[in-house]
């Protein structure tokens, strides 16, 4: 039985959440007016592990399908892979009525949805996310992107999917490192808007660490609901939606500094969240106890909480290229308490330097 979350935006759609069941995808396809052909975009890891599961469901419909799997990894969020997808779509006679299925984690979702948003000025898009980050965050809300050598996600669009189908059974094949790394993005929801979720993580840590299926499904549902509430209020990040970037300004700079090789995105976000919490202390927004709660919870998941010994000026210079910079002024998401975020900008350069050094 699926849980359904409705996302009411410019193109409204439903998020379906289930365990070991994609029958809602079958029903959706049978009741849709698409051309009866699917273009499945995935990566080599997901194709190896899960493609046959997806195809078993698709074969219950009258849809034919073509599959394109690119090399797994952040390096594939590139213009080269994007144009390979365009070539695949053209060669297989895709048109504006044939749906594209983004089947995988955040990289797959970002580059495949960017392709869907731009090919023939837009084709139907269905997300079937397979990782913790993609199920709780990146598949919801319509952000698409590829990376540029100057920074992460600098080239992209807003393009809402037609539907999102989350099967938490896909998470079972993730290693503990892949699985628990992603909790930096889940903790983010707790810090910025969901005090109950943060407390739940603190008090149910043993169940989470055991990867109890019911506990994990409840957490995925809560995060998807939180994300959808923010997106409905601010679809294109004019104001409120920016709070979802808690920890991300520094995270993107760290990723770029190490050329996306040393840290996964969630690991970099963890470091960025500790930085944002420490900056919140230095601005008098929170006390030491709140900072310790955030840092301790991240460390429960074996996530990094220190900034590498990088020249702070170098990090700030990279941050200046971030798309969240407005008129050359850096924007940070900070916290006033667990469950309450604020948007801050024009922070003194010397304070940024001081805060980075305190965490090195």
**pLDDT tens, position by position, 91-136:** 999 999 999 999 999 999 999 999 999 999 999 999 999 999 999 9
Task: Give the chain's largest Cα–Cα span.
Answer: 62
**Quick one: pLDDT at residue 88?**
98
Mention every residue, 6+ apart, whose C-beta is less than 8 A from residue 72.
Answer: 43, 44, 45, 46, 107
* Final residue in a domain of this structure, among 173, 197, 221: 173
Q: Are residues 87 and 57 in the same domain?
A: yes
Q: Which domain holds residue 49?
A: 3-173
DSSP state of 329: B
* Final residue in a domain of this structure, among 107, 140, 173: 173
Q: Are residues 269 and 320 in the same domain?
A: yes
**Quick one: pLDDT at residue 260?**
83
Q: Answer whether residue 36 is part of any domain.
A: yes
Tell me how crowded residue 122 is: count the other CB atoms within 10 A of its CB.
Answer: 12
329: left (phi over 0), alpha (psi -120 to 50) or beta: beta
End-to-end alpha carbon distance in the chain: 48
Can you tell me which residue has the tokens 């952000």?
Answer: 143
Q: Can you state the angle between helices 183-192 and 265-282, rounded to 10 degrees?
A: 30
Q: Are residues 233 and 326 in the same domain?
A: yes
Phi and psi at 274, nearest 5°, equal -65, -40
- Chain centroid, CA 248 distance in Å: 11
Q: Are residues 145 and 198 in the same domain?
A: no
Rg (CA), the chain: 20
Q: Are residues 190 and 320 in the same domain?
A: yes
Both tokens of 257, joined, read: 């500094």
Q: Answer whether residue 273 is part of any domain.
A: yes
**Quick one: pLDDT at residue 238?**
85
Q: What is the pTM (predicted TM-score) of this model?
A: 0.91
Residue 81 has pLDDT above 80, yes or no: yes
pLDDT tens string 223-248: 999 999 999 999 998 889 999 999 99
Q: Are residues 323 and 211 in the same domain?
A: yes
Q: Answer whether residue 180 is part of any domain.
A: no
Q: Answer whether residue 178 is part of any domain.
A: no
Average pLDDT score, the chain: 95
Q: How far apart are CA 209 and CA 168, in angstroms?
A: 16
The total domain count for the chain is 2
Q: Are residues 197 and 327 in the same domain?
A: yes
Tell me how crowded residue 215 is: count the other CB atoms within 10 A of its CB.
Answer: 17
Q: Are residues 146 and 218 in the same domain?
A: no
Mean pLDDT of 60-70: 97
Q: Are residues 166 and 195 in the same domain?
A: no
Q: Answer whether residue 179 is part of any domain.
A: no
**Quick one: pLDDT at residue 326?**
65
Residues in the chain, total: 360
Q: How far apart are CA 262 and CA 199, in angstroms?
A: 31
| CATH at 56 | 3.40.50.1970
Residue 323 has pLDDT above 70, yes or no: no
Residue 324 has pLDDT above 80, yes or no: no
Residue 212 has pLDDT above 70, yes or no: yes
Q: Answer whether residue 122 is part of any domain.
A: yes
């Amino acid at each position: 039985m699926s849980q359904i979350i409705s996302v009411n935006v410019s193109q409204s759609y439903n998020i379906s959440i289930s365990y070991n069941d994609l029958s809602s995808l079958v029903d959706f396809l049978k009741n849709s007016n698409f051309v009866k052909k699917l273009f499945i975009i995935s990566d080599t890891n997901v194709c190896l592990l899960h493609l046959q599961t997806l195809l078993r469901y698709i074969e219950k419909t009258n849809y034919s399908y073509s599959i394109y799997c690119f090399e797994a990894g952040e390096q594939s969020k590139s213009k080269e892979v994007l144009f390979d997808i365009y070539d695949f779509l053209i060669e297989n006679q895709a048109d504006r009525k044939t749906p594209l299925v983004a089947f995988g984690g955040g990289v797959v979702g970002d580059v495949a949805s960017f392709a869907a948003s731009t090919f023939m000025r837009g084709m139907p898009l269905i997300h079937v996310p397979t990782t913790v980050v993609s199920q709780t965050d990146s598949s919801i809300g319509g952000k698409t992107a590829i990376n540029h050598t100057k920074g992460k996600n600098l080239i992209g669009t807003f393009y809402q999917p037609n539907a999102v189908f989350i099967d938490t059974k896909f998470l079972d094949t993730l290693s503990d490192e892949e699985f628990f790394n992603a909790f930096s993005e889940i903790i983010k929801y707790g810090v910025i808007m969901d005090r109950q979720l943060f407390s739940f993580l603190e008090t149910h840590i043993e169940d989470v660490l055991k990867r109890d299926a019911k506990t994990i499904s409840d957490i995925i549902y809560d995060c998807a609901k939180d994300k959808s509430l923010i997106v409905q209020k601010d679809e294109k990040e004019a104001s409120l939606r920016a709070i979802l970037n808690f920890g991300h300004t520094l995270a993107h700079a760290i990723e770029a500094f190490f050329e996306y090789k040393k840290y996964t995105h969630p690991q970099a976000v963890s470091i960025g969240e500790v930085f944002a919490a420490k900056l919140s202390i230095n601005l008098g927004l929170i006390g030491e106890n709140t900072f310790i709660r955030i840092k301790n919870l991240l460390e429960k998941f074996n996530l990094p909480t220190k900034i590498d010994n990088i020249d702070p000026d170098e990090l700030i210079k990279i941050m200046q290229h971030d798309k969240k910079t407005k008129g050359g002024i850096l924007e940070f998401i900070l916290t006033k308490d667990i469950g309450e975020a604020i948007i801050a900008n024009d922070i003194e350069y010397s304070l940024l330097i001081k805060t980075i050094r305190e965490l090195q």
